[in-house]
Amino acid sequence: MKNTLNIFAILLVGTFVFLSAINYMADNIEDYETVPLPPKKARTITSHNPVIKVDATSRNAWTLVDFSSGETYTIEDLEHEKDKLKLYPWDIGFQRTKIITNGGLTNPHGSVGVKNLGSIDIDTVGVAPETGYLRDEKSYGKVINKAIASWYLYRTRTHNIESQKNVYTVRMADGGYMKMRILNYYCGREESECRSFMCTREEAACYFIEYVLSQNNGKFFSSSILSQTKTPAPKTVN
């Protein structure tokens, strides 16, 4: 009998505590609703080579990049601001998934060309090829550079973009050479996160590009030398 009373007392106290907690939360529900969610964990795009982040989120303007200096320039209207294409020392331009180069039909005065080396290890490219560089041309009514226009895969199930991570060599505006690879397209997520669910368009069009500038005669540092030199810190995706 005594044990039964003890169990009953424990259950009664437990029920009282539980109901008190529920009533407190119900009376103060606004406090819980206004507590912000924890911030999204920052993603870091890493490489032992330099990485540049390019904001290409505008649906109208183009972001032009001078890879020699790291400077960027904005063209609001490509058709009506063609004079600026000749004034700025740029190499490659970005707008969402579209890419143009400073040469060919985009800017006949420019000398930039691109060669697609395919899916290879970027560190195995020791010397820039001397030939095979493509310039911008018109294809199906659009001005593109065929060497880099198909840089991405479009996933029909999630409607997301993923870089093929091909390696490109670029004959630059200043006469030098560069090798590059597009590592990531999303501003706040790694592309691999978008394979199973849809990443929003607002999160898209932040290019993270790994690149190495050539030295004399189109030669690049070997990977062993690169590991001994100081490179910019990896960029963090906010």
* Residue located via tokens 């659009």: 142
Which phi and psi angles does 204 have, rounded to 5°?
-95, 170
Find out whether 162 and 185 touch, Cβ atoms under 8 Å: yes
* pLDDT tens for each residue of the chain, 238 residues long: 556 666 666 766 666 656 555 454 444 433 433 344 344 455 667 789 999 999 999 999 999 999 999 999 999 998 889 899 999 999 999 999 999 999 999 999 999 999 999 999 999 999 999 999 999 999 999 999 999 999 999 988 888 999 999 999 999 999 999 999 999 999 988 888 888 777 887 889 999 999 999 987 788 865 444 443 333 333 433 3
User: C-alpha angle 181/185/186, rounded to 5°?
Assistant: 150
* Residue located via tokens 């930039």: 112
For the chain, how big is the Rg over CA atoms in Å? 27
